[in-house]
């Protein structure tokens, strides 16, 4: 497991901190009991290093770029605070478009993240609605999926322009409603050809929207996305042992 964390914001100096011998609990990170109980039902008791640093920052509303190797727990690092935020304001919401978009590069990952969100919501007995969009969906399938609208949309980026051009999502509604945008496996999104789709979306992402970029590696593509989407983010890098 990695033994040091590097955190940087804007031009602030790089800071390295030795990770405490004793890692924090999910409660100490600010997570609600219902989510902690859901995690325990899944056999998860303590946060991984990337979760330990990312969860409090995301709960505070910061934009975050998180880089940590595959298998380090990045999905819960963003899903747990995302759900907590949406649970806490679900009654006051009167939206025309989803409050959160989670965009991923592949259909398989889309299914995986969708199942993970659904399972957490069910274990919490939460009221949030989540849908996944796939590239094979017709305009009428998309219309049905987005009726309501759902609170959380999990999709590959290509579906968003398709929804916009079919009139199933309105740019103005995205601008009014979107609170959290997650790009998961961000290091792969551009090489999978989603740059234009992401640009078509980011034109409508409001300035107040919290943006989270998760990746396994740092690359020129991640830098490009960071510039396209984030505003003065916290950069969390979890070096591998020996880095």
Interface ranges with ligand ADP (CB under 6 A) = 44, 47-48, 51, 68, 70-76
Smallest distance, Å, CB 30 to Mg ion?
22
| Residue 32 burial class via C-beta count within 10 angstroms: exposed 0-12, middle 13-18, buried 19 and up | middle
Residue 235 Cα distances to 66, 129, 158, angstroms: 6, 30, 27
For residues 77 and 66, what is the distance between their CA atoms, to the nearest angstrom?
A: 9
Give me the least distance between CB of 40 and ligand ADP, in Å please: 11
Residue 74 or 162 having the CB closest to Mg ion:
74
Residue 44 partner contact from Mg ion, ligand ADP, none using kind-dependent CB cut-offs of 5 to 8 Å: ligand ADP
For residue 101, the partner it binds in Mg ion, ligand ADP, none, with Cβ less than 5 to 8 A by kind, is none
Give min distance, CB of 187 to ligand ADP, in A: 11
Q: What is the 3-state secondary structure (H, E, C) of 34-65?
A: HHHHHHHHCCCCCCCHHHHHHHHHHHCCCCEE
Q: Report the partner that residue 150 touches, choosing among Mg ion, ligand ADP, none (CB closer than 5 to 8 A by kind).
A: none
| 67 vs 74 by CB, closer to Mg ion | 74
Mask: binding to Mg ion, 46-85, rule CB under 5 A, as x and -? ----------------------------x-----------
CB 206, min distance to Mg ion, A: 26
Instruction: Work out what residue 85 binds among ligand ADP, Mg ion, none; the CB cut-off runs from 5 to 8 Å by kind.
Output: none
CB of 14 to ligand ADP, least distance (A): 22
Nearer to ligand ADP, 64 or 169 (CB): 64
Q: Which is nearer to Mg ion, 109 or 169 (CB)?
A: 109
Q: How far apart are the first and last CA of the chain?
A: 12
Nearer to ligand ADP among residue 168 and residue 214 (C-beta): 214
Between 151 and 184, CB nearer to Mg ion: 184
Using CB atoms, what's the residue nearest to Mg ion? 74
For the CB of residue 137, give the shortest distance to ligand ADP in the complex, in Å.
Answer: 25
Query: Which residues make up the interface to Mg ion (CB under 5 A)?
Result: 74
């Amino acid at each position: 497991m990695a033994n040091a964390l590097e955190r940087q914001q804007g031009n602030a100096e790089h800071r390295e901190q030795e990770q405490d011998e004793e890692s924090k609990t999910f409660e100490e990170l600010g997570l609600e009991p219902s989510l902690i109980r859901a995690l325990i039902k899944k056999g998860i008791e303590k946060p991984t290093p990337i979760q330990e640093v990312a969860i409090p920052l995301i709960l505070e509303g910061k934009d975050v770029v998180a880089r940590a190797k595959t298998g380090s727990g990045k999905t819960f690092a963003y899903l747990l605070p995302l759900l907590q935020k949406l649970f806490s304001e679900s009654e006051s919401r009167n939206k025309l478009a989803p409050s959160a978009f989670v965009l991923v590069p592949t259909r398989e990952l889309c299914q995986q993240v969708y199942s993970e969100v659904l399972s957490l919501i069910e274990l919490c007995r939460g009221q949030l609605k989540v849908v996944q969009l796939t590239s094979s969906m017709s305009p009428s399938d998309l219309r049905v999926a987005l009726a309501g609208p759902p609170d959380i949309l999990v999709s590959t980026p290509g579906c968003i322009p398709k929804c916009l051009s079919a009139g199933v999502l309105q740019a103005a509604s995205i601008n009014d409603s979107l609170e959290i945008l997650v790009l998961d496996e961000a290091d792969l999104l551009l090489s999978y050809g989603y740059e234009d789709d992401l640009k078509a979306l980011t034109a409508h992402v409001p300035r107040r929207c919290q943006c989270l970029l998760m990746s396994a590696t740092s690359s020129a593509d991640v830098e490009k996305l960071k510039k396209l989407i984030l505003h003065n983010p916290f950069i969390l890098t979890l070096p591998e042992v020996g880095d």
